[in-house]
A = this chain, B = another copy of it.
Amino acid sequence: MDLFVSKYINKIDKKGRVSLPSSFRNVLPKANRNEIILYKSIKTPSIEGCGVGRLQEIAKRINNLDFFSEDYDDFSTSIFSEIITTNIDKEGRFLIPEELKLYASIKTEAAFFGQGHYFQIWEPKKGLKNTEDSRRRLLKEKKSLRMMLTQQK
């Protein structure tokens, strides 16, 4: 499996270390299995993460923008300076930078949610609530979608 799936709740120890779920570690390419990137989620109070390979793609994409344009600087600043690389130790653990923990209100436990090509890290309660909310939104939309489809003009 080469996708981040399922959810896990792991403890953060005194040193601030937390285990990246084993199944997530296996998604990382064997070459760079000991490093991940983390950044603030744009839409939610959570942290998003993935392997460093994605960083190369992002760099390439930004590099293709007009070097002297304002967008170039904005993207470059918002993405590169906000991304944090962190190392995974021999036991599969890593450190969540203080700034990111604050952003996500994470203290003693971290909830990992697979999102396919990336994953999210939440404060457990917030994460579970977010899952419920998402599901509720989906059901609501589905319902209205069905109405739209069956409704007679």
Which residues of A are interface residues toward B (Cβ below 8 A)?
Answer: 1, 3-7, 23, 35, 37, 39, 42-44, 48, 52, 55-59, 61-63, 65, 67-68, 70-71, 73-85, 113-118, 120, 130-131, 134-135, 137-139, 142, 145-146, 148-153
Q: What is the distance, in angstroms, from A31's C-beta to the closest C-beta of chain B?
A: 12
* A77 touching B113, Cβ below 8 Å: yes
Which residues on B sit within 8 Å (CB–CB) of A117?
Answer: 59, 63, 150, 152
Complex Cα gap A151–B62 (Å): 13
Given A149-B79, A150-B118, A153-B57: A74 and B137 within 8 A (CB)? yes
Complex Cα gap A145–B61 (Å): 11
Taking CB as reference atom, which chain B residue is nearest A97? Answer: B6
Complex Cα gap A33–B37 (Å): 24
Complex Cα gap A73–B134 (Å): 8
Complex Cα gap A82–B8 (Å): 11
Complex Cα gap A3–B76 (Å): 12
* B116 touching A80, Cβ below 8 Å: yes
Complex Cα gap A8–B40 (Å): 16
